[in-house]
Amino acid sequence: MTAQIIDGNQLSKQLRTEVATRAQALKAKGITPGLAVVLVGDNPASQVYVRNKVKACEDSGLHSVLEKYEATMTEADLLARVEALNNDPAIHGILVQLPLPAHIDAQKVIEAISPAKDVDGFHIASAGALMTGMPGFWPCTPYGCMKMLESIGYDLRGKHAVVIGRSNIVGKPMALMLLQKNATVTICHSATPDLKAMTLQADVIVAAVGKRNVLTADMVKPGAVVLDVGMNRNDEGKLCGDVDFEGVKEVASHITPVPGGVGPMTITMLLVNTLEAAERASS
């Protein structure tokens, strides 16, 4: 079996066209969806991420503001900026790029964002909403994974999903989203004694670890769907995921590549959340 590739670039293009259409409809009512991206310091990877996010907004007809601050910015000043953005009617979504410099308490900053503008979905109110099935913003990366499953018409009811990784931004919300769609969910992590025994039972595997080759072909049940969230560098310095793509694609029914899989979907879901925030604010 050679797996069907779930193309994150292609799906993103489709979803971003839908975002642009909905943004146009809001503009006709005099509202331009707006995202504020706040970057503190000069982390090179963060600079690339924020540039991509701002460009994606522009391409889809969303208003975006990039606020860049020196790494020496105080926590109090950052909290004051977040508060000003909370009160800015032109801004519907606020994203503070992580990581923040060590002297700033990132959780405190995230909690300062109004839950109505928490388009990253990291606020405790957003986590609680996901946990309880209430309306809120879902974290973009696992939300993107759900859209990828939806794109292949995958019905999770009664299926066994194994999530590898339990971070607050990927693994845990991923598990809750799969559960909400009636999958039976197992969460694995660094203290899981026999990962292979778990993954071999899975109809769906989401790898969100940050280590190359965490998932190899011998760990995958034939016909399973494999989503690779990981972002690593291989020996040649090229971007790769957590999954041994070449091996696993011969066993899985569907697989996401890295690059061109979950990555572009993450930014796309940020646009979707920002649009949603603007729609909610306008209704």
Count the neighbouring beta carbons within 10 Å of the beta carbon of residue 95.
Answer: 25
Cβ-based nearer residue to ligand NAP, 34 or 171: 171
CA distance 107 to 253: 39
Token digits of residue 196: 């292979």
Nearer to ligand NAP, 41 or 259 (CB): 259
- The interaxial angle of helices 8-28 and 44-59, nearest 10 deg, is 60
Query: Any idea which residue has 């041994």 for tokens?
Result: 244
Write down the residue that tokens 């109004």 correspond to: 114
* Residues of this chain, 34-73, that bind ligand NAP according to CB under 6 A: none
CB of 261 to ligand NAP, least distance (A): 8
With CB under 6 A as the contact rule, the residue among 33, 34, 173, 230 that binds ligand NAP is 230
Q: Residue 97 catalytic? A: yes
Active site residue 228: no
Number of chain residues interacting with ligand NAP (CB under 6 A): 26
Identify which of 210, 164, 157, 196 has the alpha carbon closest to the alpha carbon of residue 180: 157
Question: What's the closest the beta carbon of residue 100 comes to ligand NAP, in angstroms?
Answer: 15
Footprint on residues 239-278 left by ligand NAP (CB under 6 A): 262-263, 266
Q: How many angstroms separate the CA atoms of 39 and 46, rounded?
A: 8
Q: Does 121 bind ligand NAP (CB under 6 A)?
A: no
Q: Clarify whether 120 is annotated catalytic.
A: yes
* 227: three-class secondary structure by DSSP: strand
Q: Which is nearer to ligand NAP, 26 or 265 (CB)?
A: 265
Q: Active site residue: 53, 147, 159, 249, which one?
A: 53
Structural tokens at position 150: 């939806």
Applying CB under 6 A, does 209 fall inside the site for ligand NAP?
yes
- Check residue 191 for interaction with ligand NAP (CB under 6 A): yes
| Catalytic residue annotation | 53, 97, 120
